[in-house]
Amino acid sequence: MKILVMGPPGAGKGSQSAKIVKSYNIPSISTGQMFREAYKNNESMGIEAMEYIKNGNLVSDQITNKIVKHRLHRYDTERSFLLDGYPRTVRQAVALDEMLENMGTKLDAVINILSSNDVLFERMENRRVCKKCGATYHLIFKKPSISGVCDLCSGELYQREDDTLESVKRRLEIYETKTKPLLDYYEKKGILYNINGMQPFDNVYADIELVLREL
């Protein structure tokens, strides 16, 4: 199973991807998570990427394609993987197709999670993330048992550098201009599946499962 989870920022890609990789036991490749991890570890790539990220801009296609290519070459991606938040531009999609072709494989499905902008704003304002393990919470819909503390690892919860109002606006604009055209690209390949992301977590997941079960 080789799938890709798409959607505007805040749609629930990370939350749903976490559920999918857990129940199907497949590796997850999240470029946003990889950038945040590299930044946390003081790697030069992470520091460079964070300059773009915190202002709501995309990291360059060159850097992004390079880290994905590197990650896809690890042995664990041979049978299955889930890409979360990559590709985000047509150039990245073309680069990905080339990488997969070289690996003798292709994508089985693109899960596109849809939501209205007011829901997206509300979700990013209330999003909190664990500093230690990256788990995602929501101050109303996915509250940690102890305020400010991760249920899974007791790590500290923080608000992402790019979840400011200005940055969210910019990311939504960029989504419209740079990422949305990709939907056409995958629609034409006949592998695009739209999912209503404005439902409770479990209902969104149930809709995704209906698609995955058919693959």
Residues found near ligand ADP in the complex (CB under 6 A) = 7, 9-15, 31-32, 35, 52-53, 57-59, 64, 85-88, 92, 123, 126-127, 136-138, 141-142, 162, 171, 200-201, 204
Is 91 annotated as catalytic?
Answer: no
Is 160 annotated as catalytic?
Answer: yes
Q: Of 20 and 87, which CB lies nearer to ligand ADP in the complex structure?
A: 87
| Identified catalytic residue from 2, 13, 71, 123 | 13
Say whether residue 34 binds Zn ion (CB under 5 A).
no
HEC assignment per residue over 155-196: CEEECCCCCCHHHHHHHHHHHHHHHCHHHHHHHHHCCEEEEE
CB 87 within 8 A of CB 100: no
Distance CA 49, CA 53 (A): 6
Q: Which of residues 115-154 bind Zn ion (CB under 5 A)?
A: 130, 132-133, 135, 150, 152-153
Q: Of 152 and 165, which CB lies nearer to Zn ion in the complex structure?
A: 152
Q: Is 54 exposed, middle or buried (0-12, 13-18, 19+ CB in 10 A)?
A: middle
Which residue in the set 33, 155, 164, 198 belongs to the binding site for Zn ion (CB under 5 A)? 155
CA neighbor of 64 nearest in space, from 79, 78, 53: 53
Smallest separation (angstroms) from Zn ion to the CB of 137: 9
- Count of C-beta atoms within a 10 Å radius of residue 4: 26
Is 79 annotated as catalytic?
Answer: no
Is 74 annotated as catalytic?
Answer: no
Smallest separation (angstroms) from Zn ion to the CB of 151: 8
Is 171 annotated as catalytic?
Answer: yes
Distance CA 67, CA 63 (A): 6
**Catalytic residue ranges:** 13, 88, 127, 160, 171
